[in-house]
Amino acid sequence: MIIAVDGPAASGKGTLARKLAQYLGLAYLDTGAIYRTIALTVIEANGDPHDERTSLEAAKAYHRQKYPDHALRTEKVSKASSIVAAHPKVRAEVIGIQRKVAMTPPGAVLDGRDIGTVVCPEADMKFFVTASPEERARRRFKELKARGEFADHASILREIVLRDERDRTRPVAPLRPAADAYLLDTTSLDIEATFQAARRLVDGHLPGAASHKGGP
């Protein structure tokens, strides 16, 4: 069983994907963390994320790199990850990693920006999670403040809008919902309400979902 959860930054797709994976007893893959790891590898080597060859070398070394989650969640790494993710050769390398996880029984829930359209177009079920830029900026601001990091709401909103534009207009695997994806707007929904909405869709859409449940 493969479930794709796509959407822009801070839309809530990662939290939803983790909860669905627990509910169904499947593996969970945060595909954005792969690109963040690549970006941080480039940054720590004093490389340029805009350089495709440097980014590709970091992608090939992905399995040898381990960073704490908080190091991957900074605004600097977030911005760089969007840049390295636009390189066609980097995406080709990462797709292989993602598909290997997806095809390992009993399956997986993957969150990203092109899972339902490029990585796993054959996914059993697809979600596209979104929220207004203002709400996503508010969530990111709150997250950074909770970690004790400097946060400027206006700058965060501006970067979210710019990243959305980069993701939507990149020539390879642009951010867009799959034609058969369920759209979930989480602007006015909390985590539990979003999960319950998705759970009902999963239970109604997948005949074998009940037999895969691994959580409450």
Question: Per residue in 166-208, pLDDT tens?
Answer: 889 988 889 999 999 999 999 999 999 999 999 999 999 877 6
What is the pLDDT confidence band of residue 156, given thresholds at 50, 70 and 90? very high
| Integer CA distances (angstroms), 47 to 41, 59, 102, in order | 8, 13, 31
CA distance 193 to 133: 20
User: Which residue carries 């029984």 as its tokens?
Assistant: 105
Phi, psi of 112 (to 5 degrees): 180, -145
